Every structure is written in structure tokens, then in C-alpha cells.
Amino acid sequence: MMIGPIAVEGAMPGDSIEIRMIKVVPRLHYGTVGMSPGRGGIPDDIKESFMRIVRFDEARTVGEFEPGIDVPLAPFMGVMGLLPPDSDGPNRRSGPPGVFGGNLDCKELSAGSSLFLPVFHPGGLFFTGDSHAAQGDGEVTINAIETANTAVLQFVLHKGKTLTAPRAENPSHFMAFGLDPDLDNAMQMAIRETNSLLADAYGLDFPRAFLLSSIGVDFRVTQVVDGTKGIHSMIPKSLFTKTKLPPFWSAGKGR
């Protein structure tokens, strides 16, 4: 189920909106994970549907997969996006992610992180859903621990800060995203978006940004199950030992 749209006052095409994850907490004491024939990362290998209930131990902040196997809980919203551009057509669903966000399924977007999205329509028109309690990179069965979350979000408008794809930040890393039905193309987009982020934030030209990406940045498979596959880069803030945080990430209306 999707919640929205939520309009951000003053947001116009060419701006970007920062969504700060203040708090994301499961509203249930359990979640589910499953698989179905024809779906997931190995669709031909699944012969029958299977589902498991994962109960939460809030005191230990784990999901009890089975006796002796506990999965650390890290709740986040699998879908967060703005209204897609008109070029995506009138019947665009949130399922395949895109430059507007949508079903990114990035486990790094938990409490304390921020997601930055480009605005394509007045107000931006934010929506969210697909509550997760925990997920591995890849989300290979097409499920995380699916549950219901209470999410407290703060919206910050960045006037005139134009993006070509989602970006994100948590206390330790910056992130750039690559999205494409072909995983190789998604990887190439993620590299280019990482180079662009490093240029915008730290003034690194292409050779320096590309070289730094190869020796100091990790590229992770976000998910492979939403039609449009995802790669996200993890750029450690610790790389920049003598550089202040860049203006893009620290400036914004209301900050």
C-alpha cells in the first residue's frame, strides 16, 4: 500500500527534495518473507511457493528466522519516490524504480539517512510504502522481511539543486544510484553518477573522481527483482579527511 501524495511547498521542476529518515519503527511484532515460482533472482529454480513468518525480538532488535538464526532488524521503507516525469507515461507504477525514486529497495535508507530526489512536478508529490524490517543487498527472493512500519520523515527543499538520479547519505557514507533493466548498464550509470557526485561535492574532475571510485568506493547490488535493477555506490565520508561536508548536503530550506 502506498501513502501519498505529499506536496512540498515551493518545490518546482529543477529543484530537489531531501527526505530525512528521522524514525522508522515496525508497528507489528512480526513480518513475512517468501518466494514464488517465476519470480526473484533465480525464477526458474523455484518450483513452489513458500513463506515464513519472522517474529521480532524487540529487546535484541533481531528477527528470529528459526532457532539459532537471528537477523538484525534495520527497518526502512522500500518505496520512496516523487511523481515520475511525464516521459514515463500516464500508467507508471512505483514497482520498477527510476530517476524519481520509487521501489529502490535500498537497505541503507534506514533511520538517520537522507534520500535526495529530483523534482519533476510542482510540489514534488512524495509517496512511500513497502515497509521492510530487514533486507539483504539484492533482495533475491523479491521479499525483504515484509511488515508494517511507522515512519517519521522530514522534507527539506533544495532550490535550484538539479539531480539526474537519486542520491543518498547516511552518517558514514554518500550514495549514488544506477538503475536499468540490464545490470551492466545499471553499474555503468552508478559509476557515472558517483563521478558526478564527487565532482559536485568535492570538485573532482573526471580522472580524479574515476580513480577514487576504483580504490575507495564500493558498488553494491541494491536489488535484482524489480524489473529495473539497481546498483548503489557507498562513498565513505572518511576518505575526505581535510574537507568539510559539501554545500549540497548541508544547505536547504529550513535547515
Residues 190-214 pLDDT 10s: 999 999 999 988 889 999 999 999 9
Residues 167-241, CATH architecture: Roll (3.10)
How do residues 57-109 score in pLDDT, each as one tens digit?
Answer: 999 999 999 999 999 999 999 999 999 998 887 777 777 999 999 999 999 99
CA distances from 177 to 12, 18, 26, 156, 240 (A): 22, 15, 26, 20, 21
Reported for 184-192, long-range contacts at CB under 8 A and 24+ positions apart, including other chains, are 186/228, 186/229, 186/230, 186/231, 187/219, 187/231, 189/165, 189/231, 190/219, 190/231, 190/232, 190/233, 191/219, 191/233
Q: How many CB atoms are located within 10 Å of the residue 70 CB?
A: 15
Calculate the alpha carbon distances from 168 to 58, 178, 185, 193, 205 in Å.
27, 12, 20, 12, 21
Reading the block at residue 57, the C-alpha cell is 525480538
Read off the C-alpha cell for 110: 534506514
Which comes out higher in pLDDT, residue 252 or 180?
Answer: 180
199 and 209 Cβ atoms separated by less than 8 Å: yes
222 — pLDDT class (breaks 50, 70, 90): very high
What pLDDT score was predicted for residue 248?
52
Which residue type, as a one-letter code, is found at position 48? E
Please tell me which residue, 106 or 253, carries the higher pLDDT value: 106
Which DSSP helix (H) or strand (E) runs through 147? none
Beta-sheet strands, E only, within the chain: 2-6, 16-26, 30-35, 50-57, 62-66, 69-72, 76-81, 101-102, 114-118, 126-132, 149-158, 167-169, 173-180, 218-223, 229-236
Check if the beta carbon of residue 230 is closer than 8 Å to that of residue 106: yes
The whole-number pLDDT of residue 206 equals: 96
pLDDT surpassing 80 at residue 18: yes
- Cβ-Cβ contacts under 8 Å for 239 (sequence gap 6 or more): 212, 216
Higher pLDDT, 174 or 253: 174
The pLDDT tens digits for 127-177 are 999 999 999 999 999 999 999 999 999 999 999 999 999 999 999 999 999
Please list, in sequence order, all residues whose beta carbon lies within 8 angstroms of the beta carbon of residue 59, skipping any fewer than 6 positions away: none
Q: At what angle do helices 183-202 and 206-216 cross, to 10 degrees?
A: 120
Counting Cβ atoms within 10 Å, is residue 120 exposed (0-12), middle (13-18) or buried (19+)?
A: buried
Ordered by start, the domain boundaries in the chain are 167-241
pTM of the complete model: 0.92
